[in-house]
Amino acid sequence: MTRTEPADTPLGDDFHLYDTTLRDGAQREGISYSVTDKLAVARLLDELGVGFIEGGWPGAMPKDTEFFARAARGELSLKHAALVAFGSTRKAGTTAAEDVQVRGLLDSLAPVVTLVAKSDRRHIERALRVDVDEACAMVRDTVSFLVGEGRRVFLDAEHFFDGYAFDPDTALRVLRAGGEAGADVVVLCDTNGGQLPLQLAETVREVAERTGLRLGIHCQDDTSCAVGNTIAAVQAGATHAQCTANGYGERAGNADLFAVTGNLVAKLGMEVLPTGGAAELTRVSHAIAEIANIAPDTHQAYVGTSAFAHKAGLHASAIKVDPLLYNHIDPASVGNDMRVLVTEMAGRASLELKGRELGVDLASQPDALTSAVRKVKSLEAQGWSFEAADASLELLLRREVDGPQRDVLDEPPFVLESYRVVLDHRAGGEVSSEATVKVHVSGHRVIATAEGNGPVHALDAALREALTPHLSWLDTVELADYKVRILPGHPGTDAVTRVLVETSDGRSEWTTVGVHENIVEASWLALCDALVHKSLRTAVMDR
């Protein structure tokens, strides 16, 4: 792996889409990647087509050392990206060649190295405890040593914007030390994330003029402006943008790679990805969220499941005529979909549109549409809500229309006879949940019992226990998220419980809904829909 430039992107080395999900992004609270996770994330980023993948800090973090070792052994074969090792300039009072941490960067065999250096005089003096001369020498020595060893080097100027505001001369001296020693890009880092777009653009423009160096940008999201700041910096002359997948990062996070890329491609017309790359944005975003074990942000720009969801029944008929009047881009261009949310405000037009989106043709079957509208309205009056439960809505619609999948719906994969859940708080204080289900599946009557953390978990476990021997596809299916909402009753009626279940088979997620006055029954209804929906998909693929 000796690539030091992005491959196959129209802009080539002229623009660097630089990803640091695996290093700076891993600072996010709650994220802890295994080495295998890191390799999987790197492969996804390469499929998207970013130019640089920063894999970690070899030498400093054992997992990162192993990541680079396995990558070098051939476990990571990158088609588009160059692999980058992150590290620090040498310590004070030694040489770069003798510095163990710097040697670790060489030993990683990464062809590109990004070095972090302090550029705020207060940090140099108070945290590093050296003077500016020594700080510049540390930069110069380390950069020229690594360049001499055949590495391409970028320099991250930490706390640059705060440092430049406090003492511009020091900040510029650090940049120049890096540039003169052979760093190809000096990256202006808003480490504390306090910048706003207009001033930041002004600073980038000024620094470009004063130094003539190739500039990069690295933004944190503490003002909720990381994406806007990154784009503003590019417009002001930066040609290297550091981002993280889904904006993962310390505190409020980093600039979201997917929003930055979407903006560069769709708004500024910059071809920063290989052909077809943009259409992978949504898939790669969700797959990385899965590996990071963080629920995808449904409202994330460009790639969120709600990013192109329209609630207003008001506009539904206009949207049908001309969707681009109501979307800022074509959702398909980033691999996403437009969704119409079915709510109380919904009428015929939006349900028909929704059907089209779900692959159910209601336009040609007006009676089915009438009946579906009536059912949705009646269920919504009872507390059901389909706006976040596409899979349940799809089942409802398919039950209304004639079509090739009727047989699956008419003969569901399993039929419940009964269940019983027992919850005990024993005299000793121990709490337990146990569920027994009796179901008919593939011609058998099966009884199974399982325990769980709570009633729904026990019921889900018992159902799997009963069905897995008979339904092979159930193996990959798991409950990904579970939400509960108690809905106040209308006068004269009791409160009901609405449960949303998100299910995953590792490749996609779908959401189902159940409503009942009893929370366990509501959960049961949603669980059943989730499995019927999966069996429908499986049946279609088998054909």
Q: Are 483 and 519 in contact (CB under 8 A)?
A: no
Q: Which of 29, 407, 411, 542 binds a second copy (CB under 8 A)?
A: 29
Element (H, E) at 156: strand 152-158
For position 340 contacting a second copy by CB under 8 A, the verdict is yes
Which SS3 state, helix, strand or coil, does residue 413 take? coil
Using the contact rule CB under 8 A, the part of the chain among 15-23, 178-186, 307-315, 530-538 near a second copy is 307-315
In 3D space, the residue among 475, 463, 468, 533 whose CA is nearest the CA of residue 505 turns out to be 475
Which of residues 58 and 455 has its CB atom nearest to a second copy in the complex?
455
Footprint of a second copy on 247-266 (CB under 8 A): 247, 250-253, 256, 259, 262-263
Q: Which of 472, 494, 542, 543 binds a second copy (CB under 8 A)?
A: 494
As measured in angstroms, the least distance from the Cβ of 405 to a second copy is 25
Phi, psi for 385 (deg, rounded to 5): -145, 125
Q: Which of 209, 322, 407, 410 binds a second copy (CB under 8 A)?
A: 322
As measured in angstroms, the least distance from the Cβ of 506 to a second copy is 18
For position 415 contacting a second copy by CB under 8 A, the verdict is no
**Number of residues in contact with a second copy, rule: CB under 8 A?**
108
Q: Which of 5, 168, 192, 370 binds a second copy (CB under 8 A)?
A: 192
For position 521 contacting a second copy by CB under 8 A, the verdict is yes
Using the contact rule CB under 8 A, the part of the chain among 71-79, 168-176, 421-429, 442-450 near a second copy is 421-429
Which of residues 215 and 401 has its CB atom nearest to a second copy in the complex?
215
Q: Are 28 and 64 in contact (CB under 8 A)?
A: no
Distance CA 166, CA 178 (A): 20
Name residue 415's amino acid.
V
Element (H, E) at 231: helix 226-235
For position 58 contacting a second copy by CB under 8 A, the verdict is no
Which of residues 204 and 536 has its CB atom nearest to a second copy in the complex?
204
As measured in angstroms, the least distance from the Cβ of 221 to a second copy is 6
- Residues 6 or more apart whose Cβ sits within 8 Å of residue 73: none
As measured in angstroms, the least distance from the Cβ of 531 to a second copy is 16
- Token look-up 């970690």 returns 56
For position 203 contacting a second copy by CB under 8 A, the verdict is no
Q: Are 397 and 352 in contact (CB under 8 A)?
A: no
CA dihedral 34, 37, 39, 40 (to 10 degrees): 170
As measured in angstroms, the least distance from the Cβ of 306 to a second copy is 5
Distance CA 539, CA 455 (A): 30
Which of residues 385 and 392 has its CB atom nearest to a second copy in the complex?
385
Distance CA 203, CA 501 (A): 48
Residue 77 gets which letter from DSSP? -
Q: Which of 79, 420, 444, 507 binds a second copy (CB under 8 A)?
A: 420
The gap from C-alpha 404 to its chain's centroid, in whole angstroms, comes to: 35
Q: Are 309 and 339 in contact (CB under 8 A)?
A: yes
As measured in angstroms, the least distance from the Cβ of 182 to a second copy is 27
Element (H, E) at 446: strand 444-452
Using the contact rule CB under 8 A, the part of the chain among 27-35, 281-289, 356-364, 393-401 near a second copy is 27-35
Residue 154 β-bridge partners? 114, 185
For position 425 contacting a second copy by CB under 8 A, the verdict is yes
Which of residues 402 and 481 has its CB atom nearest to a second copy in the complex?
481
Q: Are 447 and 416 in contact (CB under 8 A)?
A: no
Footprint of a second copy on 341-400 (CB under 8 A): 341, 385, 387-388
Which of residues 427 and 541 has its CB atom nearest to a second copy in the complex?
427
Which SS3 state, helix, strand or coil, does residue 408 take? helix
Footprint of a second copy on 437-476 (CB under 8 A): 438, 453-456
Footprint of a second copy on 92-121 (CB under 8 A): 120
Which of residues 30 and 541 has its CB atom nearest to a second copy in the complex?
30
How many CA atoms does the CB half-sphere of 246 hold within 13 Å? 25
As measured in angstroms, the least distance from the Cβ of 149 to a second copy is 25
Residue 220 gets which letter from DSSP? B
